[in-house]
Amino acid sequence: KITRILDNSFSLYLLNKSTMSYGIKSIRYENTARHILLQNENGPCPLLAVANVLLLQGTISLPVSAVRTGVATTDDVCNTLAIVAMDGNPNGNTSSNYHIDELMKFFPTLQYGMDVNPRFVCGPTGMEYTIGVNAFDLMKVGLLHGWLVDESDVTTRNVIGMKTYNELTQIIIAGNEAKDKMDILSQKIKKVEYQICLESASGDEDKKIDSELESKGSPRELSIIQNKSKPTECDDISEELQILETNLLKTRQELAEESETFTEYIIVNNFLLSSSHQLTLCGLHALHSHLGEGKMSVFFRNNHFATMTKKHGVLYLLVTDLGYKNVPEVVWEKLDDISGNTDFVDQDFVKTKPLVDAGTLSGRLLEHVQRGGVEEDYQLALALSQNENVTEKQERELIAAAKLASLRDRESAENGTIADLKKSPLSSNDTAQSISHASDRAVALRLQAEYEIDASLDNARRQRNQLQGNRATLAKGNSANNNGCLIS
């Protein structure tokens, strides 16, 4: 249900209180303390990305209550963006009011995603203008992509031209259909050509007989030739031959048209397959040229929306994964490779060092973890966390034990990978770069594991609380029954 709040002759549309929420992380940006929103189950959505741009710029701020609790609801975010929209129309223009009113309805849907229909030869801002793009304009936030065709690829650029992604998908569909039609038309052409050969052979045989009779010159034979000048079966053959030749010409033209469609399909399909990650080298260069130093924008790629900035000539994307909420070493990731290889940096844009800290555990739990059996340790920690007699201190120790147990094998595998790289015959530069990537991957896997384990243990605690509640309800019910009361 949507609640309407009237303000200065136009409406704000707010979601009800059952809407989703976002975690909040505190960072420093441009020497100023800022808050950013983290992903929920909807992932890196456009609402999150545009809000983070405005938060980092200092254009908006989150409610004090949200900052205090560490959670911002969709209502909080939409209300804050609505204020920006109202400020964009200070004179209260009627047509603008209607326009903004419609956008207020649209804002909450941004938490689920947004249709972006890019163009491939118009630079990072090239895309079909929709209500979603209009919403970004209203917030004065740029929406960019790097899915561009290389200028040196003249053939592909000529075929794609100003077409959008949706129009390219139509070429793909038409190309698949053209391939089937081409097979049918090719068979038809062969059949007609064969019929023409037969008709031509029949007509040549009649002409040969007439020629022989005429050369002999006898009266009877000349009479036969003269009679053949009247409409006969030979004339029918000639007429049928003309019809066949006309059909052959028409079919060949149809085949040429379908062949042209299929050729476009091949070119477009090759481009889409070779750039399936939706970022090309020329697109990356275009992003560098377009975005100024210290400027911010929203970057679209593979239906994900990320907050992007440029620092010291390098492009960075804001890391909003919930698993990094309490990891100050991971705030940004570089955007300098189209294949997805990246480096994490902190709030000062300094590269993250791969550190592993198991924390402190009580002696008994530490000995148990060190004995091995990752799965057994983790299951034991879960089972104990469901025990109603476990104290808060013991529970914290169990969480730490479970984390260490689950991470040990992952880190061991990553360390083995790094050791293998050091022994590899690659050049020192290649080896160093590979080791750096492996180390970054180790950090990412560790943090992801911590997040997954935290979620599992939280679920375990909820199940324990629910079980305790059920027991209490059952005990109360038994007591009531003993007193002669009916429990419905």
For 236-252, how does the pLDDT look when each residue is reduced to its tens digit (9 = 90+)? 567 777 888 888 889 88
Distances from the Cα of 327 to the Cαs of 165, 321, 341, in angstroms? 38, 11, 20
| Per-residue confidence (pLDDT) for residue 232, from 0 to 100 | 52
Rounded Cα gap, residues 211 and 221, in angstroms: 11
Q: Give the strand pairing for 143-145 and 296-301.
A: parallel
SS3 455: helix
SS3 309: strand
Rounded Cα gap, residues 466 and 476, in angstroms: 15
Asked if residue 128 lies in contact with residue 143, where contact means CB atoms within 8 angstroms, the answer is no
Q: What are phi and psi of 292, to 5 degrees?
A: -75, 165
Residues contacting residue 227 through CB under 8 Å, at least 6 positions apart: none
SS3 76: helix
Q: What are phi and psi of 258, to 5 degrees?
A: -65, -35
Give the residue ranges of the chain where pLDDT is below 70. 1-19, 88-100, 202-237, 353-488
Rounded Cα gap, residues 213 and 220, in angstroms: 9
Instruction: Write out the E strands in 266-355.
Output: 296-301, 304-311, 314-318, 332-334, 344-345
Rounded Cα gap, residues 58 and 55, in angstroms: 5
Rounded Cα gap, residues 371 and 357, in angstroms: 19
Which of 175, 188, 189, 191 lies closest to 259 in space, CA to CA? 175
The helix or strand, by DSSP H or E, that contains position 349, with its residue range, turns out to be: none
Q: Around Cβ 36, how many Cβ atoms within 10 Å?
A: 24
DSSP secondary structure string for all residues of 381-427: HHHHHT-TT--HHHHHHHHHHHHHHHHHHHHHHHHHHHHHHHHSSS-
Asked if residue 279 lies in contact with residue 147, where contact means CB atoms within 8 angstroms, the answer is yes
- What would the two tokens of residue 261 be? 């469609």
Asked if residue 183 lies in contact with residue 254, where contact means CB atoms within 8 angstroms, the answer is no
The helix or strand, by DSSP H or E, that contains position 283, with its residue range, turns out to be: helix 281-290
Rounded Cα gap, residues 159 and 168, in angstroms: 10
Q: Give the strand pairing for 332-334 and 344-345.
A: antiparallel
| Per-residue confidence (pLDDT) for residue 190, from 0 to 100 | 86
Block residue for tokens 């800022």: 34
SS3 348: coil
Rounded Cα gap, residues 232 and 210, in angstroms: 13
The helix or strand, by DSSP H or E, that contains position 38, with its residue range, turns out to be: none
Asked if residue 147 lies in contact with residue 271, where contact means CB atoms within 8 angstroms, the answer is no
Which of 127, 136, 130, 131 lies closest to 165 in space, CA to CA? 127
Asked if residue 38 lies in contact with residue 72, where contact means CB atoms within 8 angstroms, the answer is no
C-alpha gyration radius of the chain: 36
Asked if residue 34 lies in contact with residue 26, where contact means CB atoms within 8 angstroms, the answer is yes
Which of 296, 348, 291, 293 lies closest to 57 in space, CA to CA? 296
Rounded Cα gap, residues 334 and 218, in angstroms: 100
Rounded Cα gap, residues 78 and 88, in angstroms: 15
